[in-house]
């Protein structure tokens, strides 16, 4: 069965440089501290050049039998790194990039990334960057995506960045800004733009399902452990899948893992858990193939 992962993070050297710069700025590291020291603090491998990290990812995909993945440049302004990775392995990697929509150059950056750099998805994190999903600039980014055949990925609900916690960096996110219903308002204006809500709305399940029901171009990704279910009494991930299948149907679910750093690599356990869930729910083989690979292939043809 074709296996594609719609949600992985590309933690490039530029990502680590940005973390170190913030640690210096907040007084937690001295100026001039080598970025490589973060490897020891986190027990992570340093990525090297983007092409090296791309090779590392593809070797990992081969090991697990994964055909293609979406890789997200995971700090604003790092579009070039993931573009280099995609250029290295265009048949295996699909390039997404984090974009701060509140930045003055957001629209220009988005247009360049989806156009000149050949990336495929704009990733918005409104809670982290203090903008609303129905702001005018978001609509302008949808216009860019529409013109270039790109997608928009918008993180809604609870947002937690584990690497920041481990390094002692504060994250004053405004979780109210990650509203799937605000996203639905703009997505409805651009029916040709695939719009992805990760983690089933990350705690805003009800709102995410309402958004999906109102906009046929909104998709849900299944990624991560989905630990947000603990905010809903007696809710299980089996029930989340059941409700998502009832509302979105198998054609609008995208399997993802939220894999990110090495040496942990690609998170096989998430695949195993989600495969077991769809089996318990009696999902047909055809529907399973859509969720775990076919829908991604349809949206992001090589």
127-163 pLDDT, tens digit each:
999 999 999 999 999 999 999 999 999 999 999 888 9
| Residue-level pLDDT at 1 | 84
Q: pLDDT category, 125, cuts 50, 70, 90?
A: very high
Q: Give the chain's largest Cα–Cα span.
A: 57
Position with higher pLDDT, 166 vs 71: 71
Position with higher pLDDT, 62 vs 40: 62
- The arithmetic mean of pLDDT across residues 73-90, rounded, is 97
Min mean pLDDT across 29-38, 119-128, 186-195, 239-248 is at 29-38
Average of per-residue pLDDT values in the chain: 97
Q: pLDDT category, 121, cuts 50, 70, 90?
A: very high
Could you tell me which residues come within 8 angstroms of residue 284 by beta carbon, excluding any fewer than 6 positions away? none
Angle subtended by helix axes 79-88 and 50-64, to nearest 10: 50
- Block residue for tokens 């009696």: 282
- The arithmetic mean of pLDDT across residues 39-60, rounded, is 96
| Residue-level pLDDT at 22 | 94
Domain ranges of the chain: 4-11+50-299
Q: pLDDT digits over 168-214, tens only?
A: 898 889 999 999 999 999 999 999 999 999 999 999 999 999 999 99
Q: Please, what sign has the CA dihedral across residues 149, 117, 69, 180?
A: negative
CATH class of 4-11+50-299: alpha beta
Could you tell me which residues come within 8 angstroms of residue 283 by beta carbon, excluding any fewer than 6 positions away? 245, 250, 291
| Residue-level pLDDT at 160 | 87
Distances (CA, A) of 127 to 50, 68, 100, 284: 28, 29, 10, 37
């Amino acid at each position: 069965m074709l296996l594609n992962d719609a949600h992985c993070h590309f933690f490039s050297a530029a990502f680590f440089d940005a973390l170190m710069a913030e640690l210096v700025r907040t007084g937690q590291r001295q100026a001039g501290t080598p970025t490589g020291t973060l490897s020891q603090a986190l027990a992570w491998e340093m990525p090297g050049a983007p092409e090296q990290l791309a090779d590392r990812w593809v070797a990992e995909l081969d090991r697990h039998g994964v055909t293609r993945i979406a890789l997200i440049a995971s700090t604003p302004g790092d579009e070039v790194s993931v573009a280099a990775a995609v250029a290295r392995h265009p048949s295996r990697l699909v390039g997404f990039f984090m974009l701060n929509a509140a930045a003055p150059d957001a629209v220009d950056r988005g247009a360049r990334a989806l156009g000149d750099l050949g990336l495929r998805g704009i990733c918005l994190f409104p809670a982290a960057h203090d903008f609303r999903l129905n702001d005018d600039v978001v609509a302008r980014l949808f216009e860019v995506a529409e013109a270039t055949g790109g997608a928009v990925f918008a993180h809604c609900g609870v947002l937690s960045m584990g690497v920041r916690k481990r390094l002692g960096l504060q994250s004053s996110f405004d979780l109210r800004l990650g509203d799937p219903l605000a996203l639905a308002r703009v997505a409805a204006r651009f029916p040709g733009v695939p719009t992805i809500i990760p983690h089933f709305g990350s705690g805003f399940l009800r709102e995410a399902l309402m958004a999906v029901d109102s906009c046929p171009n909104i998709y849900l990704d299944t990624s991560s452990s989905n630990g947000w279910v603990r905010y809903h009494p007696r809710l299980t991930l089996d029930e989340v899948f059941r409700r998502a299948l009832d509302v979105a149907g198998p054609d609008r679910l995208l399997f993802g893992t939220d894999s990110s750093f090495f040496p942990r690599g690609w998170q096989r356990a998430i695949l195993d858990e989600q495969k077991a869930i769809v089996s318990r729910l009696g999902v047909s083989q055809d529907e399973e193939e859509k969720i775990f690979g076919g829908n991604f292939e349809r949206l992001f043809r090589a």
